[in-house]
Amino acid sequence: MAGTNALGGAVTVQQVTAAVTAAVAEVVDSVVATVYVPNKAMILDVILTTTDMDTGASLAFDVGDATGPASADDGRFLAAVSGQAAASFRASVMAAADGLLLAPYTYRGLKGTDDSQVEQAIQCTIETAAATGVAGTVTLTVIYAATV
Q: In CATH, what number is assigned to the domain containing residue 50?
A: 2.60.120
pLDDT band per the 50, 70, 90 thresholds, residue 142: very high
Mean pLDDT of 18-40: 92
Mean pLDDT of 13-22: 96
Residue with more model confidence, 91 or 139: 139
Calculate what percentage of the chain has a pLDDT beyond 70. Answer: 76
Mean pLDDT of 37-45: 87
* Full residue range of the structural domain in which residue 63 is found: 2-145
Judge whether residue 51 has pLDDT over 80.
Answer: yes
According to DSSP, the β-strands at 87-90 and 42-50 are antiparallel
At 66 the pLDDT is 81
Write down the mean pLDDT value for the chain: 82
CA 131 → CA 24, 75, 144, distances in Å? Answer: 12, 21, 34
Q: At a CB cut-off of 8 Å and minimum separation 6, what does 10 contact?
A: 2, 3, 4, 145, 146
Number of domains in the chain: 1
Judge whether residue 69 has pLDDT over 50.
Answer: no
Mean pLDDT of 17-40: 92
pLDDT band per the 50, 70, 90 thresholds, residue 97: low
